[in-house]
Structure 1
Amino acid sequence: MPKVTFIQPDGMQTVLEADTGTSVMRTAAANGVPGIVAECGGSAMCATCHVYVEDAYLDGLPEVSEVEDEMLDCTASARCANSRLSCQLNIESDIAVRIPEAQV
Structure 2
Amino acid sequence: MPTLTFIDSTGRHRQVDSDAGLSLMEVARRNDIPEIIAECGGQCACATCHVYVEPEWLSKTGPISELEQDLLNFSEDVRPTSRLSCQVQVTDELDGIIVHTPSKQG
TM-score tier (shorter)? over 0.9
Residue 21 of structure 1 and its aligned partner are, at CA, apart by: 1.0
1:51 counterpart residue number: 51
2:91 corresponds to 1:101: no
Please list, as runs of the form range in 1=range in 2, the aligned pairs for 1:4-43 lying within 5 A after superposition: 4-43=4-43
Q: Deviations over 1:20-71 (max 9, x none)?
A: 0100000011111110000000001000000000112112221100110000
Paired letter, 1:41: G
Runs of 4+ deviating beyond 4 Å: none
Structure with the higher helix share, 1 or 2 = 2
Runs (5+) with no aligned partner, structure 2: none
**1:62-99 CA deviation, whole Å, 9 max, x = no partner?**
11001100000121x21111000000000112211000
Aligned residues with identical type, % of pairs: 43
**Paired position in structure 1 for 2:2:** 2
CA distance in 1, matches of 2:57, 2:18: 16
Over aligned residue pairs, what C-alpha RMSD do you find? 0.9
Q: Name the TM-score, length of structure 2 as normaliser.
A: 0.93
Secondary structure of the residue aligned to 1:20 is coil
Q: TM-score, normalized by length of structure 1?
A: 0.94
Q: Give the distance between the partners of 2:61 and 2:32, measured in 1 at CA.
A: 24
- Within the alignment, does 1:79 sit opposite 2:78 as a pair? yes
One-letter amino acid matched to 1:83: S
| Deviating more after overlay: 93-102 vs 44-53 | 93-102
